[in-house]
A and B are shown apart, each in its own frame.
Chain A
Amino acid sequence: MKNLKLKAARAAKDLSQQELADLCDVTRQTISAIEKGDYNPTIKLCLSICYALDKTLDELFWTEKE
């Protein structure tokens, strides 16, 4: 499932995938994979992304139970 909230938050901060990747100390491809829903990050990386985008875990990664 695509993570559109992450993509929107990144765009709102005017950051490219590469810039966000550099802030989180991962590769651009990892950020791309998270946004596409191809990779489920660990809680450590989730927090790192949240800190970089000034968002909470809920705001970026929470999804309602289907």
Chain B
Amino acid sequence: MKNILTPSILCAIIIILIILIRKKTPSDYDERQLIVRNIASRNAFLMMLLMNIVVAIDLFMNEQHLPLAPALLMASAFIGLTYFGVYTILKDAYKTKETNYTNYLPINLIAAGANIFAFFFAGPSDSIYDLVCSVRIINLYCAITFTIFIVVFLYKLVQEKNDEKS
């Protein structure tokens, strides 16, 4: 219980700090961005729901997949999140009027690196299969998600540079 309490309190403090510091209001995004974000969140949520149903059916049909249940369920959540991020970045609705993609790059790089490190080296493991079946799979999903974001950020940066030239 004590093992869960400390990280939970830490997470809660970080979330509260982020909310207090950023104080995001809808006016940070313009009307087109809000529409794009609405579409993206709706599609991401639907995608997550459908994938959860597929995973549930798969687990019901194949008992040997049961050790992979947390990994499969978390995958659907991360795919939904990744879809939301990629869709909004590509449609220019991820960053606010004041921010730039370069603001997001360092923090995404650090997050991806830290998660890859945590996945492989945070503790002992006998095989990759053990790692995938453990909660450390979340670190791998985070790393993949942030890496995808970095690639899309870089693509958008190049596209913006080309737009400025033309």
A25, B97: Cα distance in complex, Å: 8
List B contacts of A30 (CB < 8 A). 30-33, 92
Closest approach, in angstroms, between the C-beta of A6 and any C-beta of chain B? Answer: 15
A51 at the interface (CB under 8 A from B): no
Q: Contact flags (1/0) for A14-40 with B, using CB distance below 8 Å? A: 000000010001110110110000010
Q: Are B31 and A42 in contact (CB under 8 A)?
A: yes
User: Contact size class for B?
Assistant: under 10
List B contacts of A25 (CB < 8 A). 30, 97
Q: Are B92 and A26 in contact (CB under 8 A)?
A: no
List A contacts of B92 (CB < 8 A). 27, 29-30
A-B contact count (CB 8 A): 28
A41, B34: Cα distance in complex, Å: 12
A4 at the interface (CB under 8 A from B): no
Q: Contact flags (1/0) for B21-60 with A, using CB distance below 8 Å? A: 0000000001111000000000000000000000000000
Decide if the interface of chain B is mainly helix, strand, loop or mixed.
helix
Query: Which residues 100-150 of B have a CB within 8 angstroms of A?
Result: none
User: Contact size class for A?
Assistant: 10 to 19
A45 at the interface (CB under 8 A from B): yes
A17, B126: Cα distance in complex, Å: 57
Closest approach, in angstroms, between the C-beta of A10 and any C-beta of chain B? Answer: 15
Q: Which of B32, B33, B163 has the most CB of A within 10 A?
A: B32
List B contacts of A32 (CB < 8 A). 163
Closest approach, in angstroms, between the C-beta of B128 and any C-beta of chain A? Answer: 42
A63, B33: Cα distance in complex, Å: 25
22 examples of A-B residue contacts, CB within 8 angstroms: A21-B97, A25-B30, A25-B97, A26-B97, A27-B30, A27-B32, A27-B33, A27-B92, A27-B97, A29-B32, A29-B92, A30-B31, A30-B32, A30-B33, A30-B92, A33-B32, A41-B31, A41-B32, A42-B31, A44-B31, A45-B30, A45-B31
Interface residues of B (CB under 8 A from A): 30-33, 92, 97, 163
| 3 nearest CB pairs, A to B | A29-B92, A26-B30, A30-B32
